[in-house]
Structure 1
Amino acid sequence: MTTLNLPSYDYKTKEIEGKNYIFDPIRKKYLLLTPEEWVRQHFIHLLEKHYAYSKSLIRLEGGLSYNRLQKRSDIVVFDQEGKPYLLVECKAPEVKINQSVIEQASRYNLTLRCPFVVITNGLSTFCFEIDFNNGTFQQMKDLPKTKEL
């Protein structure tokens, strides 16, 4: 797998019928190791170990509806009141973060209404603070800390 610009960690992998799987500590099971899953698992580790987000507040691949279409958000972190707080859209390392990817995450967030949106391919990571009242957003230098929850 590609070396990412995210902290490395002691992940668990195993091979099943010739395919590689990685352990997901949130769902507590092994998942097929795709490039996107590689990024997602590293980002989960970053959220939990480097930003002190609680595993109990993280939901992975949650369903959402947009224009009558069923979509899946990669990572959503909830605040202590159970409200969506941080949306993370993960892409495979070879996927460039461009306007189309930003628009995809923004569409998902119309339903979720998270005040923070992160887009990452593991090589580049962008975080935006969303102001729904003014319809504006601002790029942040870092992810929001848990003390803001």
Structure 2
Amino acid sequence: MQKLNLPNYTFKLKSNENKTLIFDNLRKKDVVLTPEEWVRQHFVQFLIQEKNYPVSLISIEKQLIINNLKKRTDIVIFSPDGTPNIIVECKAPKIKIAQDTFDQIARYNLKLNANYLVVTNGLQHYFCKLDKEKETYIFLKDIPSYN
């Protein structure tokens, strides 16, 4: 898999029926290793190991219903009180991050009302904080660490 603009982490990989699987520590199961999954697994480890977010506050592929359609967020980090704090949208490294990616995560946030949004393809990362009064996003240099 492609080298990402994130630290290197050790993952458990295995092969099954001509597919490579990666063990997801949060979901406690093997999942098919797609380029997007490679980014998701790296970003989860970045959140845990570099930003000190507790595993217990991180959810992967949380289902949402938006306009009667089932959607899934890539990563949601909750506050200790159970409210969504950060939504992370992961794309494969070859996918250029464009306005439609931000539109997608903004639609998810209409439902979740998180404080921060992150969009990453593993190579480029965009962090923003929602200004709820002005209904705008403020782009940040980095994602806040867990405190």
Q: Which amino acid aligns with 1:66?
A: I
Q: Using the TM superposition, give the Cα deviation of residue 57 of structure 1 relative to its aligned residue in structure 2, in angstroms.
A: 0.4
Q: Residues 1-149 of structure 1: matches in 2 within 5 Å? A: 1-147=1-147
Structure 1 segments (4+ residues) deviating >6 Å: none
The alignment partner of 2:44 has SS state of: helix
Q: How far apart are 1:133 and its partner, in Å?
A: 2.4
Deviation at 1:132, TM superposition (A): 1.8
Identity of aligned residues (%): 47
Runs of 5+ in structure 1 lacking a partner? none
Q: How many residues align?
A: 147
Rounded to whole Å, the distance in 2 between the matches of 1:57 and 1:132 is: 23
Partner secondary structure for residue 126 of structure 2: strand
Question: What RMSD in Å do the two structures reach over aligned CA positions?
Answer: 0.7
Query: 1: CA distance between counterparts of 2:77 and 2:128?
Result: 15
Q: Which runs of 5+ in 2 are unaligned?
A: none
Query: What is the distance in 2 between the residues matched to 1:103 and 1:84?
Result: 18
Structure 2: distance between partners of 1:99 and 1:24: 29
| TM, length-normalised to structure 1 | 0.96
